[in-house]
Amino acid sequence: MKNADPVSRTLRKEATRKLLVETALDQYTLKGITATPTADIARAAGVAHGTVFLHFSTQEALVAAVIEDFGARVTLRLHELVAQQATLRDVLTAHVRCLEEFEGFYTRLVVEGRLLPTSTRTTLLGIQTAISFHLAQAADREAQEGRIAPCPSHLLFNTWLGLVHYYLTNGDLFAPDGSVLHKYGPELVDHLLGLLAPKKE
C-alpha cells in the first residue's frame, strides 16, 4: 500500500474525501451541522480522526465542502425536475419533490443558516436563485395569460418559501414520524395557487 503508484494513490485519496463528505452530510443531518464534532464523522466513516484533516484543513472547510456539494446536487436536481414551459403548479410540485428528496439536510441548513459562515449561506441563496428563476418564469407567463392575479416576483417567492420553511423548521410539530413535505406538500401547493387565483369581477 505504501508503494502504490501515484494514480491509485490519487484515486484512493479522492474516494476517502468523497466518503468523508457523504458521512459528514449524514451526521450533520442526524445531529446538526454546528453540533457535530469531526471526531464523530471520522468514527462513522471508519477512519482515524487525523485523516479528516489530511483532506480538510479545518472543520469549517469540511462544512463548506459538504454544503457546496449539497447545493450543486439540489440545483441540478431542480433543473432536472422542472420541465421546459412548466406551469406554476408544475414548478411548485417539482420544488416540493426536490426538497423532499433532500429534506433532512436542507432543513438543517435553513435552521442553522445564520450560525454558519457567510460563504455557506451563499449556497442556500444559490438554491433559492435557481428555484426563483423557474417560479418567476412560470408566474410571469400565467399572469400574462390571466390565469393568476399579478403579484411581484419577490413576494410570490417569499410567500411560498415562508410557508415551506415554516413547515420544515417545525417538522417535529407537523410530521413527527416522517417527511413533512410528503405529508403537506400537495396541500401547500394548492393553498398558494388558491391565493393567486384571479379576482372575480
Partner 1 sequence: MKTCIACGMPMRETADFALGDPAKDYCVHCARPDGTMQSYEEKLTSMSAFIVRNQGLDQGVARTAACRMLAALPAWKDQPGAPL
Q: What whole-number distance in Å separates Cα of residue 61 and Cα of residue 64?
A: 5
CB of 31 to partner 1, least distance (A): 27
Q: Which residue, 194, 128, 114, is CA-closest to 162?
A: 128
Q: Cα-flanking dihedrals φ and ψ of residue 189, to 5°?
A: -60, -50
Residues of 89-119 as b/e, b for ≥16 C-beta within 10 angstroms?
A: ebbbbbbbebbeebbebbbbbbbbeeebeee
Q: How far is the CB of 67 from partner 1 (least distance, A)?
A: 12
Q: Supply the minimum distance, in Å, between the C-beta of residue 169 and partner 1.
A: 18
CB-wise, 3 or 118, nearer to partner 1? 118
- The reply on whether position 90 binds partner 1 by CB under 8 A is no
Tell the smallest beta-carbon distance from residue 129 to partner 1 (Å): 6
Question: In the complex, what is the shortest distance from the CB of residue 37 to partner 1, in angstroms, rounded to a whole number?
Answer: 26
- Binding positions for partner 1, 51-80, rule CB under 8 A: 68, 75-76, 79
* Count of residues near partner 1 by CB under 8 A: 20
Contact 113, 124 (CB under 8 A): yes
What length is written for the chain? 201
State the binding string over 145-184 for partner 1 (x if CB under 8 A, else -).
--------xxx-xx--------------------------
**Closest separation between CB of residue 81 and partner 1, Å?**
12
CA-wise closest residue to 160 among 126, 143, 136: 136
Residues 6+ apart with CB under 8 A from 69: 21, 25
Residue whose C-alpha cell reads 487525523 in the numeric block? 50
* Residue number, 34 or 119, with CB nearest to partner 1: 119
Grid cell in block for residue 63: 462544512
Nearest CB to partner 1, comparing residues 15 and 155: 155
Question: Grid coordinates standing for 99?
Answer: 426538497
Check residue 39 for interaction with partner 1 (CB under 8 A).
no
Record the cell numbers describing residue 92, joined without a space: 411548485
- Rank residues 45 and 67 by Cβ distance to partner 1 and give the closer one: 67
- Separation between Cα atoms, residue 65 and residue 127, nearest integer Å: 15
Binding site for partner 1 (CB under 8 A): 68, 75-76, 79, 84, 119, 122, 125-126, 128-129, 132-133, 135-136, 153-155, 157-158
